[in-house]
């Protein structure tokens, strides 16, 4: 939050380090563009520590099995095999986050996704 969302709100320059799943480490710092609106796609932003930094929360309502299938298909099309990560990290994390923080119920807008 302090590295990206707060500086963006304050219209200050900041950097972001994207996580590179291929090497399992943070990448090089990249500048965060300044602007009026930032759209962030990350379920973890519904975490209580982040929620106050958000002006609007939107939940794209898709069941976990469909999301997993789409993500794995996208990875395969990009030549990436993250099957093990999906099974051992991402799916368990999604289930855990949902059980602990109920992001769907916290969202201000529900967007049906097919």
pLDDT (tens digit per residue) in 57-77: 998 888 999 999 999 999 999
Per-residue pLDDT of the chain (114 residues; tens, 9 = 90+): 788 999 999 999 999 998 887 788 999 999 999 999 999 887 677 888 888 888 999 988 889 999 999 999 999 999 988 899 999 988 999 999 999 998 889 899 999 877
CA distance 92 to 45: 17
How is the chain split into domains, by residue range? 1-38, 39-114
Is the distance from CB of 90 to CB of 75 less than 8 angstroms? no
Other beta carbons within 10 Å of 46: 20
C-alpha distances out from residue 85 to 26, 88, 112, Å:
16, 5, 26
């Amino acid at each position: 939050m302090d590295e990206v969302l707060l500086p963006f709100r304050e219209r200050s320059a900041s950097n972001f380090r994207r996580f590179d799943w291929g090497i399992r480490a943070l990448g090089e710092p990249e500048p965060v563009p300044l602007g009026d609106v930032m759209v962030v796609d990350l379920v973890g932003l519904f975490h209580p520590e982040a929620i106050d930094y958000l002006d609007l929360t939107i939940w794209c309502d898709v069941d976990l099995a469909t999301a997993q299938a789409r993500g794995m298909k996208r990875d395969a099309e990009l030549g990436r095999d993250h099957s093990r990560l999906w099974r051992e990290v991402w799916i368990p994390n999604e289930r855990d986050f949902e059980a602990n923080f109920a992001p769907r119920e916290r969202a201000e807008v529900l967007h049906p996704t097919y």
